[in-house]
């Protein structure tokens, strides 16, 4: 059994970034050697800090599937670099007549203001290696998406930002690990449209309620819907899945 989980708005509270309400189920999973694979738009620096706090030593997936990090092994890189994504976003914005502001153009103060993160945390968030998060200032997002596709890039919507990705997705990264591990039983938890793909490749999907709930339900009609948002809903969903008897360990 492997648990794949989104972070923001799912395992982490959307406002406080705390995972504390999920601590009981995390402890329960750890006691049974069930790996919890973090699947996120966050970068390696951010996820590493969080894994350390959580005591999580399992493989993890960063930057919307751009890289799969298996501790002690070379990264499995699936996505385009930030420089490539920025250049594609710049060209696509001109092409589609849309005005955007990318992470690469923001200074620390602006990132703090847009995310509500404190400076120390925002500085970590800015250490990206792949893709490019951005906000839409003006224009039609659909037109931008078409122009990006013509550049060979995809666009996805996270909790706070849109993201430009090249050649990668959370789903592809999750599939890479599932294949490597010989098709284990899998649970996935997520709250936003950029989680739909990986929630479709796990055996049991859990939707964590958010403003995107209706779109998520339509895309994932078989999924269980947690009865609370964020880590409190995560905690209850894991216990309700009766994982008590299940155990696992990180396959090699
Ligand atoms: Mg999320």
Find the 157 Cα to ligand 1 centroid distance in Å: 10
CA distance 196 to 105: 29
Where residue 41 falls among pLDDT bands split at 50, 70, 90?
Answer: confident
Find the 210 Cα to ligand 1 centroid distance in Å: 9
Find the 9 Cα to ligand 1 centroid distance in Å: 5
Domain definitions of the chain by residue range: 2-77+169-245, 82-165
pLDDT (average), residues 138-155: 95
pLDDT (average), residues 186-194: 95
Please tell me the predicted confidence (pLDDT) of residue 116: 86
Neighbouring-strand partners of residue 207: 190, 225
Q: Exactly one of 6, 8, 13, 195 is catalytic; which is it? A: 6
Please tell me the predicted confidence (pLDDT) of residue 141: 94
Helix axes 141-150, 82-96, angle to 10 degrees: 120
Of 251 and 237, the one with more pLDDT: 237
59, 69 contact by CB (below 8 A): yes
Topology (CATH) of 2-77+169-245 = Rossmann fold (3.40.50)
The fourth-level CATH superfamily of domain 82-165 is Putative mannosyl-3-phosphoglycerate phosphatase; domain 2 (3.30.980.20)
> What is the tens place of the pLDDT at every residue in 94-104?
999 999 999 99
Where residue 60 falls among pLDDT bands split at 50, 70, 90?
Answer: very high
Find the 14 Cα to ligand 1 centroid distance in Å: 8
Active site residue 6: yes
Find the 220 Cα to ligand 1 centroid distance in Å: 16
223, 191 contact by CB (below 8 A): no
Rounded to two decimals, the pTM is: 0.83
């Amino acid at each position: 059994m492997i648990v794949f989980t989104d972070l923001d708005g799912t395992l982490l509270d959307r406002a406080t970034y705390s995972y504390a309400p999920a601590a009981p189920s995390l402890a329960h999973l750890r006691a049974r050697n069930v790996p919890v694979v973090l699947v996120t738009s966050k970068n390696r620096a951010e996820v590493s800090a969080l894994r350390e706090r959580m005591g999580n030593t399992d493989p993890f997936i960063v930057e919307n599937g751009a890289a799969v990090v298996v501790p002690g092994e070379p990264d499995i890189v699936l996505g385009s670099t930030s420089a490539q994504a920025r250049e594609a976003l710049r060209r696509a914005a001109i092409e589609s007549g849309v005005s955007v502001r990318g992470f690469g153009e923001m200074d620390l103060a602006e990132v703090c203001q847009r995310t509500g993160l404190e400076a120390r945390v925002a500085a970590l968030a800015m250490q990206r290696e792949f893709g490019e998060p951005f906000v839409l200032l003006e224009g039609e997002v659909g037109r931008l998406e078409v122009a990006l596709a013509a550049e060979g890039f995809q666009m996805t919507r996270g909790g706070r930002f849109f993201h430009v990705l090249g050649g990668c997705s959370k789903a592809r990264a999750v599939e890479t690990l599932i294949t490597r591990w010989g098709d284990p039983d899998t649970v996935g938890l997520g709250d936003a449209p950029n989680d739909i793909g990986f929630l479709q490749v796990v055996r049991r999907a859990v939707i964590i309620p958010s403003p995107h709930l209706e779109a998520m339900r339509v895309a994932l009609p078989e999924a269980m819907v947690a009865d609370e948002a964020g880590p409190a809903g995560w905690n209850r969903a894991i216990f309700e899945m009766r994982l008590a008897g299940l155990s696992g360990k990180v396959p090699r």
